[in-house]
Structure 1
Amino acid sequence: MEIIKNVLSDVKKRNPNEPEFYQAVEEVLNSITPVLEKNERYRNTGILERLVEPERQIIFRVPWVDDNGKVRVNRGFRIQFNSAIGPYKGGIRFHPSVYSGIVKFLGFEQIFKNSLSGLPIGGGKGGADFDPKGKSDGEIMRFCQSFMNELFRHIGADIDVPAGDIGVGKREIGYLFGQYKKLKNGYEAGVFTGKGLTYGGSLVRKEATGYGLIYFVKKMLEQNGHSLEGKKVIISGAGNVAIYACEKAQQLGAKVIAMCDSKGYIYDEKGINIDTIKTIKEIKRQRISEYTNYNPNAEYYGNQRDIWNVKCDLALPCATQNDIGIEEAEKLIENQVKFIGEGANMPCTNQALELFLKNNILVAPAKAANAGGVSTSALEMSQNSIRLSWSFEEVDEKLKEIMENIFELTSKSAMKYSSKTNYIAGANIAGFIKVAEAMLSQGVI
C-alpha cells in the first residue's frame, strides 16, 4: 500500500543507520495491510505516522568509577514509545551493542506485546552500552547508581515501569531500585518489576518468559493436531528464557537435545539435564562447555550458530535478535524442522520468517510467544498495588491463562485477516487494533 511505503520511507530518513528498528517497523506494517485496507480510519488519521514515532526519547551520560579509580563513561537510553493503554513498560538492557536503534526496536515491539497481554501497560524500553561481564559487584553497583541518578526523573509506578533484560538481573534491579528509593525518599515498589522476593518481587517472574513461550507453543501445536510429547527440541541461549523454556518443555514431555551460550553449544542425545544447566549458569556463572564435565556422554561444539544444524522438530531461539537468518532457516528446513517458537525479541530476520511461512512451518511469533515475562511483570505491579503476594501456583496459573488468551486472540486475528496458521500476522494485527483504537479515542496527542 502507498501509505505503508511512505511511512517506511519516512522511518528510514528519520532514523538513519538503525536497521533493527526499521526491520521491526517493516514487519508490523506489512502484516497489518489487510486491516488498513478495510478500515479507512486507520489510514487517514495519522495513526501509523504517530505509531512509529516515540512519544519521548531520553539519552544521557552515565559516568562511574571502576575498581582502579578510573572514571568511565557510558551512554544511557530510555525510549518511552507509546502510553495509549497504560504507563510505559519495558526492560533495561546492559550490553555493548545497545544504541538508539536497538532500544527503539525493542520499545516498538513492546507496544504490541503489551497490548496482546490484555493488561493496561504501554510500550517502552531502555538500556546502556555497558557490559556487566567481568565487572565486580562494586563496579556494577556504582554504574547502576549513576544510571539511576538520571533515569529517576522519568519513571514512576504510573508513568514508566522498567524491568530487567539482557545484562540486568535481580542484582542490577536491586541496585537500581535502591538508588531510586534514596533519590525519591519514598518506597514506591511498583516502579520496578523483576525485584527480589524480599522487597516486592513476584514468584514466577524469573521463569515467566520461558514458561509462557511453552504455554503458547503448546496451544499452537494442539490447534494444528500435534503435541509436545516426544518432540525433539533445540534452544539457543542459556539465560532465564532458555533455561525455563527447557524446564517447562521437558515437564510437558518434550526432549531438549541442544542448548548454547555465546561461545558454543552442547548436544545431549539423552536430553539436557536442566539441573546441571542451572548449576552452571545460575550458580557458578560458567560457560555451557562445562556441561560435559557433568555429563561426559554429551558433546560440545565451539561455534554457537551451528546449533541450528542439529536436527529437531521444534526450534526455540531464546538468545537475542536476528539469531536465525536465511542460512540458518534453510538449514533448519533442510533438517525438517516443523515448528519455531520465538523466545527472544525478534530472533528471526524478516526473510527467515518469510521462508518458514513459505515452507508451511508453524511460527509462534515473539511479540505473542514471549509476552509471559512482561505479563508477569504486570502481575507483580498488581501485587505491589494491593500490597499482597500470590503463591507460585497462583501466579503460574494466571500466566498460563494469559498466554492461552494471547494465543486465542492471535489465532482469531490470523483467521480473520490472513490465514489460519499465519500467527505472525495475527499477533501484529491483534496488537495493532487495540493500540490504534485507544489512540483514536484519546485524540491527537
Structure 2
Amino acid sequence: MKIRLRVDARWLETEAKGMARLRRRYHSWEESTLKTAKEATDLRSLRELFYSLGDRWEWDQTTGSWLAEGEPLETIGLVLRMPGLKPETERRVLYAVMAYSKGFTAQFDHLGDKERIIIEQDTKTGRISCWSTSGHGAMDLFPVDLTSFGTIDAALRACYIVAQPGDHALRLELPSSRGGLSTIIQRFWNPASGNRSFALKEVGVVTAEDMETKLSINIHRYAKAVIDLEQKWKELGEGAAARVKEVMSDKVPPEIEERDRLTMREVKGLLHVSWFRPPANQLPFVQGVRRKLESQPMPTERERALIPYVKELAESLDSVLERAKYLKWKSVMEERTFSQSELFRGIDISELAKQAFATAVQDILNEHTLSYIGYPERATMEGKMLRIVLGMVVPPARLLSSFLTQARRAFRGRLFRRDHTAEDKDGPQ
C-alpha cells in the first residue's frame, strides 16, 4: 500500500545539510579507524578496536545506506492492528518512522522521528475515527470522522499524511474535495500559516496483514492479551463484597483470602508494567508472575482463573520480541540479501525501507509503551495533562509562528521591490 506524505520543503533543505554533515563525520570515522588499525601494536589495542567496530557496526547497518543512497527524510511506513477498548471496535496505528539526522546524532541504531496516527473503526456501525499526533507525541483531543471513506485503507490512500520532523507531529489531512467542517478549517489554516511550499512523497507502507502473516509480528494478539487480563482482573475484583461475606461466614479461610489479595496486587502491578513500560522491558516481570502462579501446588479459585490470561500475555509478548530480534539479527547477518528475502515478497516498500524495517520495529518496542502506541486513554495522569495542554496550545502556536514567518517574508519582499523601484527612478535617463 502507498500513502502520500507531505513535508515542508524547508525541512528537506535543512535535512540535506544534516545528511552532508553526518556523511563527513562518517568518512572521518572510517579514516581514523583505518589509521588506528595500522598503528595497533598488540592484541589489547586490536581488541579495543574490535569493540569499537562492534558499536559502529549497528550504526553502519541502520545509517550507512541512507547516508550513501537515501533521500532526505527517507520514511518507513507500517501499520499495527490492535483491538479497541470497547467491544466491536478495532484500531489501526499508522507509524511513520523518518530518517532524521537529529535522531542519528543522538544515539546509535536510532532512526530519528517516529510518530503515529491512530484510527479506530466500529465494526458494528462502520464509524471510523482518526486521532493525529499534534506535537511531542500527544494525540489530538478530538477525532476526525473518516466514515465516508468506507474503509481505513481507503482513507489512508485518499488522504495526505503531513509530517513535521523535530516537533514529533504527524497528522492526517483530508483532501480538499471531501468538503465538510474539517476542510473549511484547513482552507482557513493554509493561507494564514503560509504553508504553500511543500514536497509530496509517495511512501510504501507495510500493512497490518503483512506484519502478521508475512513477517509474523502479531501486536494484536499481545495487546488483546493485556486488555483481556485487565478485564478478568476487574471482574474478579468486583466480587470483593461477596468475598467479604464469605470470609465473615468462614467459607473462605483467612490464609486463602490473604493469598488472593497478594495475587491480585501482583496482577495489578503486572498490568501497570504492561501499559506503561516498553514491551522490550516487560518480559522478565511477566514471566516471573507466570512462574509464581503456575508453581502453586494448590492454586486458589482466583489464581486458576488468572493463570490462562497471564500465560497468554507471556507467550504473545515473547513471540513479538523474539520475532523482532530475529529480524534484526537477520538484517545484520544477511545485509546484502535481506531486502530480497522471501519475507518481503509482495510488500511494496523501497529497498532502503526493507533494510531499516527491523530496526524501526525494534526501536518502537524498545522506546514506546503500549498506552503510547495505541491507547492514549490509558496514559498516566501526567500524559493526559500533557495531551490537553499540547492539544490546546500547539496548533495556535504553530499558526501564529507560520503567520509571522509569512508576514516577515511579505515585508522583506515589499522592501526589496521598493528599493528596486527607487533605483530605477534614480538611474540614468
TM-score, length-scaled by structure 2: 0.25
More helix by proportion, 1 or 2? 2
TM-score, length-scaled by structure 1: 0.24
State which structure, 1 or 2, has the greater radius of gyration over its C-alpha atoms.
2
The answer to which structure, 1 or 2, has the higher relative contact order (CA under 8 A, 6+ apart) is: 2
